[in-house]
Structure 1
Amino acid sequence: MHNENIRPESVVAQALGWIDETTRAINPPIHVSSTFLRDEDNQYRSGRVYMRDQNPAFDQAEAVITNLESGHETLLFASGMAAATAVFQGLRPGDHVLAPEVMYWSLRNWLMGFATGWGLDVELIDMTDPSAVQAAIRPGMTKLVWVETPANPLWTITDIAETAEIAHAAGALLAVDSTTATPVLTKPLELGADLVMHSATKYLNGHSDLTAGTVTTRGDNEHWQRVRAVRAQGGGTLGSFESWLLVRGLRTLYLRVRAASSAALAIAEHFDGHPLVAEVLYPGLPSSHGHEIAKRQMTGGFGGMLAIRATGGEDAAIAVAAHTKLWKRATSLGGVESLIEHRASVEGVGSPVPLDLLRLSAGIEHVDDLIADLEQALAKAHEQ
């Protein structure tokens, strides 16, 4: 698509309008060759040598995401964790890193385990408090500030623009995990971030049938070249079929995210103040911490993720999840089906998640059915 006035909904629906020039197919072919032919003079004018890092199946998904994020370049990875860890592996031992206290648990564990053992100086702070960021940053020594907003699983909000100013003033890069917001709702690069990462397993794909990750950069620099090298040399790349599935999923991104966001808001409003719910955590509620920031940096909705804290504590929360029929008890988020999970049981010892918290990923089912299912589950849990 060459028309700059084309809206992003149309960009993703047609996946940039690419066609296969050989067959004129509107869906991309699946390339499975692991290697590519040299020219007669021993050159590779096609630009492709080996599938690990130069798979033509990557091209369309990376181009679509780069377009959506208003970025310079996107790299696909085999998972969200592979994408996120590549950003940190692009740093050097001894570099100081700031990350949020509340964030995706697997990455938090990796940072405090592998990354610190490898030599990164990792400091966890309250990323929602700009004064805490300012106090923790070390000019000339802090090389990366990592933000997740909304932050899993408490759905707290960090001001991307303000954090970017603090990071850049100290000579640090700002990277944003925008998995929950997606480019439908937030454009971190336009707010000042240098890098934006997604677990494409979640909303970008949206069908719970692949694992993938992406990182998009606002510009080229030495750190980005190291991230590229981590992917090429570490081999954490996506397969051809998975790349095809990702393009398939991206085509309905706007429809799915808007539907999930609308459902999540309705669910949050319904259960806010409910006698069997101690608290609803959702940035779309005016009472939520960070609501005003979310209104400013999220456009068109507040996302499909929320949490409820069940009256009655941990046992009640687990019982609620056990009694749901439509909501599926499973890990992950961002699919077309609605998921519910007692998150503290998953994260284990050291988790900042309250024991009474249930994480909810609203899908695209009818919202009245989702609410009714939670109502009956809450009632049954409190009959025990």
Structure 2
Amino acid sequence: MTQLCRHCATPLSIRFLNLGFAPPSNAYLNPEDLQKPEVTYPLRLLACGQCRLVQTEDYAASDELFTDTYAYFSSTSKGWLDHAERYANMVTDRFALGPDSQVMEVASNDGYLLKNFVAKGIPCVGIEPTKSTADAARALGIPVVQEFFGTDLAPSLAEADLIIGNNVYAHVPDINDFTAGLKTALKPGGVITLEFPHLMELVEHRQFDTVYHEHFSYLSLLTVERIFKAAGLRIFDVEQLPTHGGSLRIFGCQEAADHVQSAAVATVLAQEQARGMDEDGFYQSFQSQADAVKDDFLKFLLSAKAEGKSVAAYGAAAKGNTIMNYAGVRPDLIPYVCDAAAAKIGKLMPGSHIPIFAPAELRARRPDYLVILPWNIAAEVKTQCADLAALGTRFVTAVPKLTVNQ
């Protein structure tokens, strides 16, 4: 049966990427779970020849992916906390936010961002469906509505001067409904900012490990502009960010609002056009690039094993689960992963069943190689583990190409 595009309902025929079958990337296991069957889903992407939305072919229901025990906590990364604080300061100044304003964040996670508005005395509310992270935000004094966001919920919310969505737009199965909800919840002169990984960067830097079931869509400005227009919204500014290997931050508003469009919108659209993102060929060549990254990573691990070298990994991140499951990596090649998130320590990686330990384990074992799975924070990890480097540990990243630091 031919799948239709989630945005424009065009039949999908362009194969973008096939990573086989995998469990949800954040479905970490308890040791007793190894006695039970593990559910996997197809992990395949298609591209729309009309609106150019790249999207998962088959997907689990969102309530199967974002459960009460969801293990991703945004506050784990200091770099991300700093990014959030800079953003809060910027929008407060740019849009003159104050005690009479209303800020809303969709997918507010553990309060990593909204706590900055609380500190400024700016009223805010988080929308967060996962109990584990919502509870963490409430402990910081942040009001949280524990629901999925969309047109059903939006009418019950106070209209916002600023709606924030950081790394959530790619996570929603019904992107049209979500966007319509943004319009409903936004004041006539209000602003929406959304951050999401840029599909152009994903392809150029072979970041196939950012593909997982929780990411239903892979986005360009070209596509998002079309989705916004269909919902009665428009994009008036855009920033290119280094986060997550290259992201866009778009600024949107009601179609009739008086926000003046910046030159940056035309600039980014021109970049995408120049790279062929409105042509089929751009979407048809990615599989071979992903396979090259996977093959080089697996060759490295097999070589290290043959040489009797010890290998560990850092960062029990979703992107790490994608590459290890696609490459078929198991504990014989990487015996353990270390992570600072308390919610993950003592559990096992989905699919690979590699145990997750606290970072202190690295000092006890002193591995010859440390594979940094969340390559987007590699610099931060290297700084944290500088003592290991002094003892001879070499850092390894697989994306965009295999790199082994001396």
TM-score by length of 2: 0.36
Structure richer in strand, relative to its length: 2
